[in-house]
Structures are given as structure tokens and as C-alpha cells.
Amino acid sequence: MSRLAPAPDALIGKRFDVAVSKMLGISRAKSAELIETNQVRGLNREMAKSSTLMEGDIVEFDIVEERKEPEPLAEDMAVVYEDDDVIVVDKPVGVAAHASVGWTGPTVLGSLLQRGVHITSLGAAGRQGIVSRLDVGTSGLMLVCKSDLAYKEMRRQFAEHEVVKTYHALVQGNLKEDKATIEAPIGRAKVSDFRFTVTPTGKEAITHWDVLERFGEATLVKVNLETGRTHQIRVHFSSIGHPLVGDPMYGANPVMAKELGLERQWLHAMQLEFRHPRTHVWTTVKSRYPADLQHALDSLEAKHATPPVNSLG
């Protein structure tokens, strides 16, 4: 079953494949595939993936549904905070924020709807209520809006960087400073549609970090984001020679990850601070490390513990 959508004002002048990727929340490579197989096309004129989206264009989506079975439920996704306006979940690793073409695993939005949670209808189709996302491979706190009022206000707060997002990350090596800021623009890497990199042509990205604990071969840090670019923490620490432990996509040592029992990057969204959209009360929500990340830390601490001094009495 096909559906039509007018060209969004914000995407006028963009390449067709770039615009489609933004509209659907999918990779540029996947959007190009959909265009080439005629599952996404221009209604009023013929458009190739390199065509420029113009004012007045109508985009027709006739995407073949890939999912044959109902979306699996993220049963271990805990609710940390909930009221009539917002719900904050502790997203496990392996759960996507929302459905996308090709993804067959559980999603935050799908699992909340299956549990009977009312979510606002505001937002892009399939992404309603979502104002900020976490990667599939990153665990931690994620806020979803239940009311229309909350969606409008929280979208504004996230866009204007008023929400304080605190992450903990374990990075390779011994950071020289105790605290610092990484300010480097991030854009899509030319070598891969799924990777990002520091590039002069990228979007502004600012990451603040403080050391929490040192292990010599790795450093545990607290991270606050001033901007919210895709893979920002992973890209920024890789750019200074300290990729996240367990993140081979951005240069981490797979041997260390194996020794610590890690199958994903050591990164967790630990705390969210925001002004409640209705009451305007400053609200703080906290999380704890999941089992795999805690195990990796315990392994490092045991490895670097100071042995007791032998006493002959």
C-alpha cells in the first residue's frame, strides 16, 4: 500500500536519496536502494537518487514490508520514570529507538505501544513521541513523550540543548588530562554510509568529559554532550586516539573487549536532567550500569588491584 508525502521545506534543495533517508530515518545507502528499486519515487516527475528535491515535489512511498512477524517485545526494558506527559525507559543494548527498514529486532516505541502506553501522535510516522534517540548498541535512559504538550516542549528543550544528558564511557588508554572538551565537527564518513568522522564540512559537535577512574590501559569518564550528533561520543574519543572499549568500528582493540567479555561499546546513558514540560520542575532521572558493562569494570578493577603485602609476622 503506497502513501504520499509533500517535500518537507527543510529538505528542499537536498539530493533525493539524502532527503529520503531523513524522511524515513534510514541510511543513505538504504534510501538509494529503495529509489533504485522504485519503492520510493517522485509522483509528479521522474527522479533519480541524485536528483534535487524541489518545492512542490510529491514523494510516493510504496515500500515492500520486510517484517513478516510482529515486532518482538523488549521485555527487560525498565521504566524509570513515568507520568501523564513523559516516560523515561532504561533501554537495553540491542533495542532500537524506533522501527526502520531492515531492522527486525525490538524497539523502544514498539514495546511501549505493545505494553499499552499511550504515546502522542506528534512526530514522523513510526517515530511519534521520540525527541532524542540512542543507538542500538548503546544502553541507558531515553525519554519518550506521551502528550502533545510534552512533545512540543521537550523537542524544543532538546533542540536548544537545555536537557543535560550524562553518559559514562570506558575509553582505551590513559587520558592525559582529568577533564577536557572536544570540539570538532562531525559528518558522514566517505568510506561507509554507517560511519561518521571528524570533518571540516561536518556539523558542530561539542563533548565535555571528566575522568572518573583510571585503569592504565583504559579510563572511565563522565561525558556531557552540548550537541547530539550521531555517534558523537564514539567519533570524538576515537579522533583523539582513545576509542571506546568494545567499539571496533571506530578503532578499538578487539582483544581487550574479548578479555573483558564485551560484545559492544562500553557506553551508557546514565542520567537525564530536564525541566518538566508541564510543571517546569527541574527533574533528574538516573540509571545503573547493566550487567555486561559492570562485569567489564569489575574485571579491570580485579586486574589492576594492588596485591596485599606479605607479612612474616
Residue with cell 571506546: 244
Q: Which of 135, 193, 210, 298 is catalytic?
A: 135
Could you give the domains of the chain? 3-61 (3.10.290.10), 71-160 (3.30.2350.10), 161-305 (3.30.2350.10)
How confident is the model at residue 192, as a pLDDT? Answer: 63
Query: pLDDT: is 191 or 45 the higher one?
Result: 45
Q: Which long-range contacts (CB under 8 A, 24 or more apart) does 117-123 make?
A: 117/87, 117/146, 118/146, 119/144, 119/145, 119/146, 120/145, 120/146, 120/147, 120/148, 120/150, 120/151, 121/148, 122/148, 122/151, 122/152, 123/151
If one compares 140 and 13, the residue with the highest pLDDT of the two is: 140
SS3 218: strand
Q: Supply the pLDDT for residue 228.
A: 85
3-state DSSP assignment of residue 16: helix
pLDDT at 66 over 70: no
Q: What is the model's pLDDT at position 67?
A: 53
> Residue 19: how many CB atoms within 10 A of its CB?
24
Q: Is the pLDDT of residue 307 over 70?
A: no
What pLDDT was estimated at residue 193? 58
Q: Minimal CA–CA distance to 3: which of 50, 57, 44, 43?
A: 43
User: 142 forms bridges with which residues in the sheet?
Assistant: 89
Active site residue 210: no
pLDDT level of residue 313 (50, 70, 90 thresholds): very low
Tens digit of each residue's pLDDT (9 = 90 or more) over 100-110 = 767 889 999 99
pLDDT tens profile 167-194: 999 999 999 999 999 999 998 887 765 7
- pLDDT category of residue 311 using cuts at 50, 70 and 90: very low
